[in-house]
Chains A and B, each alone.
Chain A
């Protein structure tokens, strides 16, 4: 069974600071996603990472993937209040049964304080 662990689950940051959210997963994956969720809203796709060493950046967010370590990171640079949300990583299995569905981490609730 695929397990996805995120940490930290709660993150309170000051504006302007940097931090990293970690996502570990337990089995081979061919695709890893990062989503953002605002309160009462649906999931907004941020990044999809396909291969080892993949790095994607959008604004103050940068995601990377190490398939050998089964680890993805979401790095936040110079946080601003607008980044406050819950961030989820989700993993799609690389092979075998049920390789169409996503398994989500529990999410990281990010609060950026002035």
Chain B
């Protein structure tokens, strides 16, 4: 597709439920990022993939968060045993080159998944 596609757009989960958020990046984009955006805040880095390799997961808040990109294209962010503090918008971004951008190539963000834990 022309852009980064995320699904679902909205997810309501009961506390303790597991959720899976999907990101379909722009075809051919090597780099893929997940960010978490709390209400009224800027996005915060969660994790980075270069192709299928997860090179940085330092931003994942706890071991309940897990991300994968097994074939180097679609990525899934999984949150186990959701807690209220997990409520946020989860943004996926992709970029053409391995360093996350080159000259005027930037990062293309998806529309996000708004997760509400009740």
Contact = CB atoms under 8 A, between A and B. Distances in A.
Interface string A75-105: 0000000000000101010000011111111
Q: Size band of the B side of the interface?
A: 20 to 34
Interface of B is mostly: loop
Interface residues of A, number: 24
Given A33-B106, A101-B33, A101-B48, A107 B99 contact: no
A70 interface: no
Nearest to B102: A31
A99 B101 CA distance: 10
A68 interface: no
Contacts of B99: 99-100
Interface of B: 31, 33, 40-45, 48, 55-56, 58, 91, 98-101, 103-104, 106-112, 114
